[in-house]
Structure 1
């Protein structure tokens, strides 16, 4: 067995129970993907795009929540190959389109104003120590945060939504980019590891051409003081009722 095959594993997406193939040498999904996949409003028969899909966990969660058509885009051919395998194993071929490509070439890869919802978990870091595993997924080595906003604004329809997860230290930057690209912030939630700890990420949903008015949701707390999941988080791991 090759070294690459040794690093492959088949897991399950919490909540929906879909099989998901992952490569430990690339980047496996984490709780921030689960939170984002459950965060945005999904309209009936929604057409959804995930920019920088990685494992495809967010895309599969959005499909399980009612999205009729899902497009997953990533520039890493290894992860898109695994997304296609996951899609096939869950018999979702009629709902999924997987695109190999650099989101900076969005005009060649996507149709303008064709999506009801765009979701993304962009790289968090634009500086600091570079991790050796999942480098492109965590650091801006192939695209910047602004590239994600630019592509999302192009692909989402008027009054459609763009949802992302990011670090608190990039909140002001995200707000500036949202306004620059006509994406009005509508819903915001801060995520804390424990109730007495600072937020470590935020979830934000923006509307293209939306009016002023931001709904700040109660904070999402991950762990109780004893280290167990809170009731807020447990609901994301309960089996979906079809």
Structure 2
């Protein structure tokens, strides 16, 4: 007789909602938790993509928010969701059933630096990633391993993410990334060196008069069509929850009232 499935959520977990399509994810109360970046990335990837519809790959899926949003809110997929940490992966597996996405989101456990051992090259039309932001050795490392791996480049760096995306993409496929604004020159350089040519760039600002905190970039494999710089994306404004109209439209009312915010680090 098989053991019963663990309760949803477990005592050390929370069950959280995101987006306008009823996406629900499991997160550890004291571990790394998703931020608004995942919503902005999913929307950016879905609305800016010009490549042929086809299978997608999320690198570093975490709780699976981006994958679930792409499938349920934006009608993309199927998505293979790659996650390195076994405990995080286990929550992602449970969330697939929770969101009725068994046929549309496939969890994969593994290291993006060893992607060749996990999936065939040139398979995906789209790759998305909300990778670790902080350069290894910069700042104080979190004593919590889950947070450290998710936030800092202790298990992979930007070059690893770009290399994995290049391997996974079919010719003409797109990769969409979100990174701190201060790393824009570095990341665009890495993409170009890998012949993933930046095609769309958008900076994210907390408020209309604030410096950029993030940037969203989409690049095409082997096709240089020039770079389009979109108008700034402003997070906070006069819409529900204190968000701008654009951002508030991506989230359901309960989340707009509680609202995750862009972290400062």
On whether the aligned pair clears a TM of 0.5, the verdict is yes
The answer to whether the 8 A contact 1:222-1:229 is kept is: yes
* Alpha-carbon distance between aligned partners in 2 of 1:83 and 1:19, rounded to the nearest angstrom: 10
Q: Is it true that 1:67 corresponds to 2:76 in the alignment?
A: yes
Name the structure 2 match of 1:36: 41
Gap runs ≥5 in structure 1? none
Q: Give the deviation of 1:44 after TM superposition.
A: 6.7
Give the aligned partner of residue 176 of structure 2: 163
Identify which of 2, 23, 28 aligns with 1:23: 28
Of the candidates 66, 74, 79, which is equivalent to residue 58 of structure 1? 66
Residue of structure 1 in register with 2:113 after alignment: 104
Residue 123 of structure 1: aligned partner: 132
Q: 3-state SS of the aligned residue for 1:59?
A: helix
Matching residue of 1:113 = 122
Give the distance between the partners of 2:113 and 2:58, measured in 1 at CA: 14
Secondary structure in 1 aligned to 2:140?
Answer: coil
SS of the residue aligned with 2:41?
A: helix
Aligned equivalents of 1:46 and 1:66: distance in 2? 11
- Per-residue deviation, 1:186: 0.5
Q: CA deviation at 1:169?
A: 1.5
Instruction: Report SS of the residue matched to 1:237.
Output: coil
Contact 2:52 2:173 in 1 (8 A): no
Residue deviations 1:59-115 (CA, integer Å, cap 9, x gap): 111112122311000110111111111110121111121111111101101211100
SS in 1 for 2:81: strand
Using the size of structure 2 for normalisation, the TM-score is 0.84
SS of 1:149's equivalent in the other structure is helix
CA distance in 2, matches of 1:105, 1:24: 30
* Residue aligned with 1:112, SS: coil
Structure 2: unaligned runs, 5 residues or longer = 1-5, 254-265
Equivalent residue in structure 1 for 2:158, among 112, 125, 145: 145
Cα distance between partner residues in 2 of 1:228 and 1:27: 24
CA distance in 1, matches of 2:77, 2:212: 33
The SS at the match of 2:45 is coil
Looking at structure 2, the residues matched to 75 and 141 of structure 1 have their Cα atoms a distance apart, in angstroms, of 12
Does the CA-based 8 Å contact 2:203-2:212 persist in structure 1?
yes
**Contact 1:45 / 1:66 at 8 angstroms: preserved in 2?**
no
- Aligned mates of 1:123, 1:167 — CA distance in 2: 10
Given the alignment, which residue of 201, 212, 235 partners 2:214? 201
2: CA distance, partners of 1:228 / 1:92: 31
TM-score, length-scaled by structure 1 = 0.92
Choose 110-119 or 33-42, whichever is displaced more. 33-42
Whole-Å separation in 2 of the counterparts to 1:135 and 1:24: 15
**2-structure distance, mates of 1:92, 1:212:** 35
- Tell me whether 47-56 or 17-26 shows the greater mean CA deviation: 17-26
Is 2:19 the partner of 1:10? Answer: no
2:80 is paired with a residue whose SS is: strand
